[in-house]
Amino acid sequence: MDIGDVLRQRRAELGMSQADLAAAAGVDKRQIRRYEAGEQQPVLSVAVAIANALKISVGELAGIPTHKVNLSGDWWASWQTFKDGEEVITVQEVRFSQQGELISVQTTTRGIDVVDGGYHWRGELRVWDNEVLMGWYAADDGSVRSKGTMYFVLHPHGQHMDGRWVGMSHDGKVVTGWGGISKSEQEAHDAIARLRDQFGDLDDQAVQRAEIEPAT
């Protein structure tokens, strides 16, 4: 694709008008129109500003093919959690919306009933080298205080990701458990057992329900 094609496509992905892009990049709207029509090419400083506004690299703006994985879409996420010392396995649907290396995550189902500890949450993940995803999550239900971090290793073909979460839960301020994200509910459901078989139970590593005490 040439710059004009990239501009139009990326603006559409972000829901930006030509005026929006012009304002974000600090250029005149007429210039954006000329770039998209192929009548002019932006100088380097303007190309950098436009690329930043579109959250892409200058190379991507120039139409150079990228090999970044695109994980946007609906997934199934499984979590090993705990309530009153008892293990709870949750499988819920989540939606990924990716812009560049940043992925916004939002649950679309609770997975289990509210009385059993199910809740909606949102978060962000950043993709590093098409290999690792790191980010945060926070409960989207007002009465739930759960929040923390996520770490996943991406399958080479982007089919699933395995990892763990660390954060605040019903059982403590620093709790951790295995997590898996897959394209099918069954694969997500099987991920926790597979991770436990391969790496062992995190509870055996003396990291579950650890409380941080203030220094004295």
Same structural domain for residues 55 and 102?
A: no
Span 113-154, pLDDT tens digits: 877 778 999 999 999 988 999 999 999 987 788 999 999 999
Same structural domain for residues 100 and 180?
A: yes
Same structural domain for residues 51 and 79?
A: no
Best CA proximity match to 162, nearest among 149, 186, 176, 180? 180
Q: Is residue 77 included in any domain, yes or no?
A: yes
Same structural domain for residues 15 and 103?
A: no
Same structural domain for residues 108 and 195?
A: yes
Same structural domain for residues 147 and 57?
A: no
Mean pLDDT of all residues in 157-168: 91
Gap between the Cα atoms of 216 and 207, Å rounded = 22
Question: Does residue 205 have a pLDDT over 80?
Answer: no
- CATH number for position 38: 1.10.260.40
The token duo for 66 is: 């990228």
Give the global pTM: 0.67
Q: 34, 61, 88: which is the final residue of a domain?
A: 61
Would you place residue 67 in the very low, low, confident or very high pLDDT band (cuts 50, 70, 90)?
Answer: low
Question: Does residue 100 have a pLDDT over 60?
Answer: yes
Same structural domain for residues 185 and 85?
A: yes
Q: 61, 82, 108: which is the final residue of a domain?
A: 61
Q: Is residue 67 included in any domain, yes or no?
A: no
Q: Is residue 213 included in any domain, yes or no?
A: no
Span 102-122, pLDDT tens digits: 899 999 999 888 777 789 999
Question: Does residue 206 have a pLDDT over 80?
Answer: no
Residue span of the structural domain in which 28 resides: 3-61
Same structural domain for residues 186 and 129?
A: yes
Q: Is residue 87 included in any domain, yes or no?
A: yes
Question: Does residue 202 have a pLDDT over 80?
Answer: no
- CATH number for position 127: 2.40.128.120
Mean model confidence pLDDT for the chain: 87
The residue type at 160: H
Would you place residue 201 in the very low, low, confident or very high pLDDT band (cuts 50, 70, 90)?
Answer: confident
Would you place residue 209 in the very low, low, confident or very high pLDDT band (cuts 50, 70, 90)?
Answer: very low
Alpha helices for the chain (secondary structure H): 3-14, 18-25, 29-37, 44-54, 58-61, 185-199
Q: Is residue 135 included in any domain, yes or no?
A: yes
Number of domains in the chain: 2
Q: Is residue 216 included in any domain, yes or no?
A: no
Mean pLDDT of all residues in 147-165: 92
The residue type at 14: L
Same structural domain for residues 119 and 173?
A: yes
Q: What is the phi/psi pair of residue 162, to 5°?
A: -120, 145
Span 7-64, pLDDT tens digits: 998 898 889 999 999 999 999 999 999 999 999 999 999 999 999 999 888 888 988 7
Q: Is residue 68 included in any domain, yes or no?
A: no
Half-sphere exposure of 196 (CA within 13 A, CB side): 15
| Per-residue pLDDT at 152 | 97
Same structural domain for residues 82 and 157?
A: yes
Mean pLDDT of all residues in 76-99: 90
Contact 64, 51 (CB under 8 A): no
Same structural domain for residues 50 and 82?
A: no
Same structural domain for residues 51 and 86?
A: no
Would you place residue 203 in the very low, low, confident or very high pLDDT band (cuts 50, 70, 90)?
Answer: low
| Per-residue pLDDT at 55 | 84
Q: Is residue 214 included in any domain, yes or no?
A: no
Q: 39, 61, 83: which is the final residue of a domain?
A: 61
Would you place residue 216 in the very low, low, confident or very high pLDDT band (cuts 50, 70, 90)?
Answer: very low
